[in-house]
Structure 1
Amino acid sequence: MKVTFLGTGTSQGVPVIACGCEVCSSANHKDKRLRSSIMISSPAGNIVVDTTPDFRYQMLREKVQHLEAVLITHSHKDHIAGMDDIRAFNYFQQSPIDIYATDFSQNVIMREFAYAFADYKYPGIPEINLRAIDDEPFEVNGLKIIPIQVMHYKMPVTGFRIHDFTYITDANSIAPEEKDKIRGSKVMVVNALRREKHISHFTLDEAVALGQELEIPQVFFTHISHQLGLHDEVMKELPAGMALAYDGLSIEI
């Protein structure tokens, strides 16, 4: 199983235009962060986690030719806004795409993309099969997926564990029983927005502490804002077995 980081950035704390800060001005490609998403590839095909506003470019950049399913962590706009571009895969695959999401997220998706669920469907709209998920494990592409509920301030967000890999974004607290679902993972990806305390995201120190508490051998940080600083500078201070992820990074699990 291969995991590719499609994006490791965030809309939180990021200027809407290039502001001339050291991150904006950096020549290091590891400082160029699109909105956070990953792709999980196996012999059975590709699964994308979240369709960000950058979804179309992310698919083009990685030369993705086929998409079997999408997992949705939560329904904030920076995680679902690119869903309309699923239509390209519909066209070439001649089939709908399965979207796995909680009931709450499904309701938002149906409201935001109402034209995809209308009684009369205009030709060329995205073809989506909504698949409900809750706390129970489910299977996609032959992979067992364990949902992990984390809290994004007061909003439940779904993390996912697949074999020895756990992916968590947009969280600032995790209940003990949900942490137990993560324990034993060999690789964990978790959000680390910035250094300063935030109402709904882990800080870098909090994300480091979580990895150490759960004794995860390899931790990657994602959902990184400009406020965290330059990739190479932050890397110098991280403990062994921990690293900032960057757009385009691929790891084998």
Structure 2
Amino acid sequence: MDKLIFLGTGDAMGVPRVYCNCRVCTEARSNGINRRERSSVIIEGEWGSFLIDCGPDWRNQMERIHSRNTEQILITHAHFDHIAGLPEWADACRWTDKKGKLYAPNEVIEAILSQFPWLNKQLEMITIDDGIVIGGWEITGWKVNHGKNGYSYAYRLEKEGYHWVYCSDAINLNHEEKQRLFGLDLLVLGTSFYHETAEFHTRSVYDMTEADILLQEITPKQTIYTHMSHDIDLNQDYSLPIDVSLAVADMEISLF
């Protein structure tokens, strides 16, 4: 049976914030449950594995799961917290004499290469605008609103009648963007705050109160919130619905 493992569950800055002495950051600083690296997951099965996103904590995450190799990574968008680990991955491929496979829409690959133009020496850049199959998972991506930060891609993965979506960076999705969120067994959704009070035009990711409204519309069977800032305290009871939970590093979920 395939499984989903959460490697990182934090937002762009991670937790603790280096400048912050709030309750959550203080607890995280002592290696508490709120310690969060940048968001990434790995999907594993008898066929092998692949990651979604490769942020600046990629090396630490690989060490933590005792993995010495990453052969395939699917990228959601070319922001620092999702691609900053790519040079280290490419270097690992160089030293192990392997060619990693990086999957992303063409415009995301172009943005990555504009920042790291040498990566294609060690990584095979594979465009997936028309979808891709990895480990038997049929994967389709679509552009979603990322608020002030432009856009990201969400991915729907389907295999043996099981349907799930990874959507880490999105807000205020329109009717068209929501269509592939219906009929899900699992939704992994980014929610950086419980209730974010910043002016809406400055924001880029759902908060939990907004996510609750979205879930009432699309009704997934199970939802896991990730991409959480230091506003979220895993020691606190947020009275979430029974089918909604908060991601924790190393959490494993069986898929189908």
**Stretches of structure 2 lacking an aligned partner (at least 5 in a row):** none
RMSD: 2.0
Aligned residue among 181, 188, 205 for 1:201: 205
Q: 2:81 aligns with which of 78, 82, 96?
A: 78
Q: After the TM superposition, which parts of structure 1 deviate over 3 Å for at least 4 consecutive aligned residues? A: 12-16, 89-92
* One-letter code aligned to 1:158: Y
Correspondence 1:1-253 to 2 at 5 A: 1-11=2-12, 16-17=17-18, 19-26=20-27, 29-86=32-89, 87-92=91-96, 94-117=97-120, 127-134=122-129, 136-153=130-147, 155-163=150-158, 164-194=163-193, 195-197=195-197, 198=200, 199-228=203-232, 230-233=233-236, 235-253=237-255
Contact preservation (8 Å) 1:8, 1:246: yes
Matched residues, number:
241
What secondary structure does 1:130 align onto? strand
Q: Aligned-pair distance for 1:69?
A: 1.1
Cα deviations across residues 37-58 of structure 1 (Å, max 9, x unaligned)? 1111121111111110000101
- Contact 2:16–2:36 (Cα < 8 Å) also in 1: no
Residue 30 of structure 1 and its aligned partner are, at CA, apart by 2.6
CA contact (8 A) 2:58 2:85 kept: yes
CA contact (8 A) 1:45 1:67 kept: no
The question of whether the paired residues in 2 share the 8 Å contact of 1:13 and 1:227 is answered with no
Moved more, 37-46 or 99-108: 99-108
Name whichever of 202-211 and 175-184 sits farther off: 175-184
Give 3-state SS (helix, strand or coil) of 2:101's partner.
strand
User: Percent identity of the aligned residues?
Assistant: 32
44-53 or 151-160: bigger deviation = 151-160
Please report how far the alpha carbon of residue 156 of structure 1 lies from its aligned counterpart in structure 2 after TM superposition: 2.4
> In the TM superposition, what is the alpha-carbon distance from 1:181 to its structure 2 partner?
1.4
Q: Which amino acid aligns with 1:173?
A: N
Task: Kindly indicate whether the alpha-carbon contact (under 8 Å) linking 2:43 and 2:51 is maintained by their aligned counterparts in 1.
Answer: yes
String of CA shifts for 1:207-244, please: whole Å, max 9, x gaps.
1222221111111101100023x1121x4421111111
